């Protein structure tokens, strides 16, 4: 990518087109590895993003997921195995209205402790980074 000196409208436009071209085809936060019996993604492969997608299922865990919520506003240990302490997380999918928030234990290189407001019925996908 050629360095640009912002200022003129054409230079700015060229700069934005260059960044767009790089990002549109070369950045991915992950891909589906397996699906559960209902066709919903169950596990993910880490791609070239610096985080990982993880599904945290309902407490009943009918699909045998590695992570499942333990209760309403209750600490739940989620294994991420990033090899470093994560700096945050996004909720990318949820089956019920809920908030996901920090638990009472600080994250480490392999786990993060989170809580949710929907308790045992939440089925979520998180991007931990």
Q: Is the pLDDT of residue 120 over 80?
A: yes
- Would you say residue 16 lies in a domain? no
Q: Are 51 and 90 in contact (CB under 8 A)?
A: no
Q: Are 90 and 126 in contact (CB under 8 A)?
A: yes
User: Confidence class of residue 6 from pLDDT cuts 50, 70 and 90?
Assistant: low
Residue 18: the pLDDT is: 67
- Cβ neighbors of 55 (< 8 A, separation 6 or more) are 41, 42, 43, 44, 65, 67, 123, 124, 125, 126
Rounded alpha-carbon distances, angstroms, from residue 107 to 48, 65, 95, 96, 110: 22, 21, 25, 25, 8
Task: Give the range of the structural domain holding residue 92, as residue numbers without chain letter.
Answer: 27-128
**29 pLDDT exceeds 90?**
no
Under 8 Å between Cβ of 89 and 128: yes
Of 102 and 48, the structure prediction assigns the larger pLDDT to: 102
Residue 12 lies in a domain: no
Secondary structure letter of residue 60 according to DSSP: T
Domain annotation covers residue 69 = yes
- CA neighbor of 119 nearest in space, from 91, 96, 103: 96
Domain count, the chain: 1
């Amino acid at each position: 990518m050629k360095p640009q000196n912002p200022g003129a409208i054409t230079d700015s436009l060229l700069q934005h087109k260059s960044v767009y071209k790089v990002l549109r085809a070369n950045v991915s936060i992950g891909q589906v590895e397996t699906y559960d019996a209902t066709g919903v993604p169950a596990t993910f492969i880490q791609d070239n993003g610096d985080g990982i997608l993880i599904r945290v299922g309902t407490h009943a865990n009918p699909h045998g997921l590695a992570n499942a919520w333990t209760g309403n506003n209750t600490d739940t240990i989620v294994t991420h195995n990033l090899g470093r302490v994560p700096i945050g997380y996004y909720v990318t999918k949820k089956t019920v209205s809920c908030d996901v928030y920090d638990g009472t234990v600080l994250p480490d290189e392999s786990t993060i402790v989170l809580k949710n407001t929907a308790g045992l019925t939440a089925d979520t996908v998180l991007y931990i980074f």
